[in-house]
Structures are given as C-alpha cells and as structure tokens.
Structure 1
C-alpha cells in the first residue's frame, strides 16, 4: 500500500482503494528513490514453503479472492489501532496479518503480538518466532 499524500489522511481519514501489486524490481526502485538516505531493507524467512504459503494468502486476502490478476479486493489505507481489521489497513500490518493468518497452524508470529496497538515497519521482524525469524536479504 503506497500511502502517499498528506499524512493526515493516513491517520484521520482514508486513502480509498489504495492497495496495489508491483514487481519486486519496480517496488525497490520506486521506494529506494523516495527513501533517500533512509534505505529500504528487505527481509525474508528462510522457509521457502512458508513464504509461498503466506504469499498465496496475502494475494487472496489483499488482492484477488480468485487469485487472478484482476483486483477485486479494494483496501483503504489508514493507520488505525489494533491488528484484526483487514480494511482499512496499512503496509506493515498487512505483512504481519499475512504471516499471522496465512501460516496455517504454524507458530510463525509470536501470539503475544496480536495485542499490539500498531505494527511498525522497523519492528516487524521482531514479531516473528525464533524458528521463522527472517534474515536480511539486503539494503537498497
């Protein structure tokens, strides 16, 4: 979710229909230019099967209920408290929700983090259990 615009919209109003899908290259190129000296970090869990399972869930939950290229999920962007609402939503919470709900019966995310008020991007890696803790792929 790109967010964008006035930060007031992130907190008190919503950016309508803000979810999108981009290639990895497009996303890294776009956001690394916007980030300036605050570089983008990419983290990845070691378990490839789990990554694929969670990505499949994220595609279903946040893009298309039929797993098609055609978007039929329209998520509004807003930074709100809690971890349970799927719409409105924001980027780091969508990632957290995908691993929390999309991992089946595996304990990928620490259950104690379900009570967090916000899921901050820089703290996301710390919500994983030690078995599934992501490794840093790189900084861009």
Structure 2
C-alpha cells in the first residue's frame, strides 16, 4: 500500500512539472518570443532539462537579493532565442556543409567590429557573445568555474579559427554593423579598454568576470556587456545604442541586436 501511494505521488509530481513546462513554453509563444515552427515544444523540453534549469539554479544561488521566478528569468533571457531570427541558440547543428567548409566560410567572413553570438551559457545568462577587434582576433570574457565569486583576469583575445574550434558543436551567428566606420570605432574601443590601451599585442588590462546589475563600469564585466559597451562608449556622439539607463540591468547575449538604433542596426551575416 505504501509503495502504491508513493508511486501515485511521484507521478503527480511529474505531471505538475510537465504542466509547468507547458505553461513556460506557452508564455513565450503568447509574448511573441517563440515561433512554434522554429522552436518546438519538444526542443524546449530538451533545452529546459539540459540548459535552462541548471542555469536558473546558478542564477538563484548567486542572486539571493534579486530573485525572479523561472518564467520571468526565461523572458529576461529571451528563452535563448535570437531576437531577429527567432531561432534558438541551441538549435541542433545539422548542416549540409562539412565542418571544415563551415570553418573556412566563417574564417573568411568575419572582420573587425563583427559581433559573435553562440550558445554557451554561464552564471544565469543564456548564450555567449564576443567582438572582433581586428579581422583576425576575437575579444571575449569566457567566464568559467568560480564565476559566482568573480574570475580575475578573464578577458582574452583568441584567433578566429580557435574561436570556431571551441564552438564547433554550436552555431555561431555573426552580426555586422551597417556602418563600417562605427564597427571599427567600437572594435578599437574594446581593444583599448579591455586588452591594451595602446593597441599593442600584449595584454595589459586585467578584467574580472562578474555578472552584476552595473552596466556602466568596465571592471568587473562580462561577455555581452563588453560588446554593448564597445558600441555605446566607442562611437562618439553617434546614437548607435539605445539609452542603457532604461534598457534593463543585465545585457543578455540573444537580445544584443535589439540594442541598436537606426541607421546603425545589425545585419545578420549567417550562422556557422
């Protein structure tokens, strides 16, 4: 009798969890974030188990004073869906191109000022972002173990072919600003602020990785904050980025395209 009651309660708990998942998915659909043809419920169910729930638990354990519920957290992170294409960052990587061909196309495409967004997540943020500081070098803050306490000296530049190799199992979407001069200005600012003030090849800036609600400081910082700051601070008086004081406290990688104002909006150059 005890075993039978236990089984009933276990099944009821599973049903409740499943219903919560359905509700979370439907909220995304109702808000227009999720396109059901591009991001199915089955895909969401898999991502919730493997990605979203673990990341949300990371968020909860390190943001004790500013808790939000799971559904609001998903909305804040745009469900890991790129705002311009409505495609998930975690879309299964099936391509007619070989990995070698995909890498060749990526390496030949990217250039200074381009923004790279991929599916890695850490610290309660879904996705990862970086910026090309030259036609060859990628500037990023990769985070890693111990992010909740802050990771010292986390900023780095890696060659573009190494970036691809590190993210070969996920799609990297490449975004390019419509104004080439603005892209160059942003890249130069990022390089001098987050790597070397003189523009040299040796790193002399040492930035701590930490996700916080302070969107203005450059140290500590994190991946998507670095990218938006480059286009906000590095482009002079041009109104490239919308007012950050009313744009929200955490900059989420998948919503980066939403921060740009006409005529400086981003062009999606494809995923690799």
TM-score (norm 2): 0.46
Bigger shift: 51-60 or 24-33? 24-33
Query: What are the equivalent positions in structure 2 for 1:39-58 lying under 5 Å apart?
Result: 39-58=171-190
User: Is residue 177–residue 266 contact of structure 2 (8 Å, CA) maintained in 1?
Assistant: yes
Indicate whether 1:81 and 2:221 are aligned.
no
Distance in 1, Cα, partners of 2:249 & 2:214: 5
Residue of structure 2 in register with 1:20 after alignment: 156
Bigger shift: 98-107 or 15-24? 15-24
User: Is residue 175–residue 268 contact of structure 2 (8 Å, CA) maintained in 1?
Assistant: yes
Residue of structure 2 in register with 1:90 after alignment: 222
Q: Which structure 1 residue ranges, 4+ long, deviate > 3 Å from structure 2?
A: none
Distance in 1, Cα, partners of 2:235 & 2:215: 16
1:101 equivalent among 229, 233, 237: 233
1:110 equivalent among 218, 231, 242: 242
- CA RMSD after TM alignment: 1.3
Compute the displacement of 1:32 (Å).
3.1
Compute the displacement of 1:40 (Å).
1.9
Residue of structure 1 in register with 2:102 after alignment: none
Distance in 1, Cα, partners of 2:237 & 2:231: 11
TM-score (norm 1): 0.87
User: Is residue 153–residue 209 contact of structure 2 (8 Å, CA) maintained in 1?
Assistant: yes
User: Is residue 178–residue 263 contact of structure 2 (8 Å, CA) maintained in 1?
Assistant: no
Distance in 2, Cα, partners of 1:76 & 1:15: 5
Distance in 2, Cα, partners of 1:114 & 1:53: 22
Compute the displacement of 1:70 (Å).
0.9
Residue of structure 1 in register with 2:165 after alignment: 29
Q: How many residues align?
A: 131
Unpaired runs of 5+ in structure 1? none
Distance in 2, Cα, partners of 1:104 & 1:70: 26
Q: For CA contacts below 8 A with separation 6 or more, give which structure has more relative contact order.
A: 1
Indicate whether 1:127 and 2:259 are aligned.
yes
Distance in 1, Cα, partners of 2:257 & 2:172: 14
Compute the displacement of 1:103 (Å).
0.5
Compute the displacement of 1:24 (Å).
2.1
Residues 29 and 137 of structure 1: CA distance in aligned 2, closer, same or farther (over 3 Å): farther
Higher strand share: 2
